[in-house]
Amino acid sequence: METTGLFADTLRLWIGWAAFVIELLAVVVILAAVVIMTISNRAIHRLFKPSDEPGYERYKHQLGKALLLALELLVAADVVRTVTLAPTLQNVAVLGVLVLVRTILSWSLIVEMEGRWPWQGVASRGDEPGPSPRD
């Protein structure tokens, strides 16, 4: 009977570490994206060069994609931690609120990067783009 408790404690410990590693990976994704894109796109130089609008838009789009990936990783870490370690009603409710907030952040990033809501399809080449989400 005691080995079952020891196994359960060890499993909880490993799952907790797995959630921590996923969160750490999200931070690494953000930091790596900022550093790599800033160096490779010469972003500091472009910030002081107002005529380079396409360069700024490209930088913003690439950084937005990294932030979206990091948000997904953070949601995954929260799900792993909440569902496997402490699936109480209060913790699941908190998880629901976190997922809702991060979903809204993801939608905001998509609107900023692509100029459309996530549920709007990508316009075909001959089609007119849908209404602007900022209207």
pLDDT at 105: 87
Cα–Cα distance for residue pair 23/79, rounded to 1 Å: 11
End-to-end CA distance of the chain: 64
pLDDT at 49: 67
More confident: 133 or 77: 77
The sign of the CA dihedral 36, 122, 105, 75 is negative
Contact 34, 76 (CB under 8 A): no
Lowest mean pLDDT among 47-56, 86-95, 97-106: 47-56
